[in-house]
A and B are shown apart, each in its own frame.
Chain A
Amino acid sequence: MGLPTESTDAALVVAIGRWDADAFAETYRRHAGPAYGLAWRILSDRHAAEEIVQEVFLRLWEHPERYEAERATLRTYLLVETRGRCLDTLRSRARRSQREERVQRLNPTEDYDLELEIWDLTLADEVRAALDSLSAVERRAIDLAYFGRRSYRDVAKVLGEPEGTVKGRIRAALGKLRDRLSAEGIDAPWLDR
């Protein structure tokens, strides 16, 4: 395999089958975001969503042969896996809280894959464009806080700026994202599903 960044998804999975960690990293870079977004949307719980993403990607690492390229794209396969694990989590919670009705509504249908693909494709471009609309300093503040799980106070130290400035930038950035996505019709109906 050449550079992982230039490989097709199918080639990456073949390379993962040969224990290629770089191929695994590239696969994660390409697809972890949508999987995480989907899990968070279904579970409304970011920590549970993080666990699901770890499980899904570790499963791909351990059993790459379960992906069949002729049946679905890798993205769809990973989203289906993610959704399945989220439903398992909800069922487990429902058994504890007797809320089976909600889970029944979330059960997969024959439109299952198609629904996921549409959701993914619709969101991806719009969210990317919204993030690109942020100024460099806004994006930097978001990235430091988000990826590193830093408090805004720690971000201020890293950037050498007043805490109030950083806090304001985070708010401005989220407001800009909200306005941009809302203008594209991606707002409450998407968030509440």
Chain B
Amino acid sequence: MTPEEFDDLLAAYALDAVDDDDRRTVDERLAIDPEARQRLAALEGVVRLAAHELGPPDHVWPASPASPTRDCSSIGAGPEVPSAASSPGSPPRRASPRS
């Protein structure tokens, strides 16, 4: 793997977009290469900042797979929990001018 290819892989790793084999490759290199660790830290910092605007990944959306429920036992009437039909099936995202 060329240095260029490794840095491409490191960027994907920072985005958590690698499979187990690639992750192992990067982890082995990071264990012995402090400069690679520094480059990774910078990349992860960028991803953290981007998360501020992108929002959490899809699986964090609390309405999927299960809709949030409320304990209304103290109120008396039964809870009107959002049904699967009325709940959004995928997480809402901020509008992207390019999407």
Contacts and interface: CB of A to CB of B under 8 A. Distances in A.
Nearest to A151: B19
Interface residues of B, number: 54
Interface of A: 19, 21-22, 24-26, 28-30, 32-34, 36-38, 40-41, 46, 49-50, 53-54, 57-58, 61-62, 123-124, 127-128, 130-132, 134, 136, 139-140, 142-143, 145-153, 155, 164, 167-168, 170-171, 174-175, 177-178, 181, 186-188, 190-191
Given A58-B62, A61-B68, A152-B17, A127 B88 contact: no
Contact of A149 (B48, B57, B91, B94): B57
Interface string B79-93: 111100011100111
A81 B80 CA distance: 25
Interface SS of chain A = helix
Given A49-B56, A143-B96, 4 more contacts: A25-B63, A29-B93, A33-B55, A140-B99
A128 to B, nearest CB: 5
A37 to B, nearest CB: 3
- The 6 tightest CB contacts between A and B, nearest first, are A37-B52, A21-B82, A29-B92, A171-B11, A191-B45, A145-B17
Contacts of B91: 28, 147
**Residue from B14, B57, B58, B80 with most neighbouring chain A CB atoms (10 Å):** B57
Contacts of A37: 48-49, 51-53
Given A29-B93, A33-B52, A54-B60, A146 B11 contact: no
Interface of B: 5, 7-12, 14-19, 22, 42-43, 45-63, 67-68, 70-71, 79-82, 86-88, 91-94, 96-99
A164 B8 contact: yes
A28 B61 contact: yes
Contact of B88 (A21, A34, A132): A21
A57 B88 CA distance: 15
**Residue from B16, B22, B79 with most neighbouring chain A CB atoms (10 Å):** B16
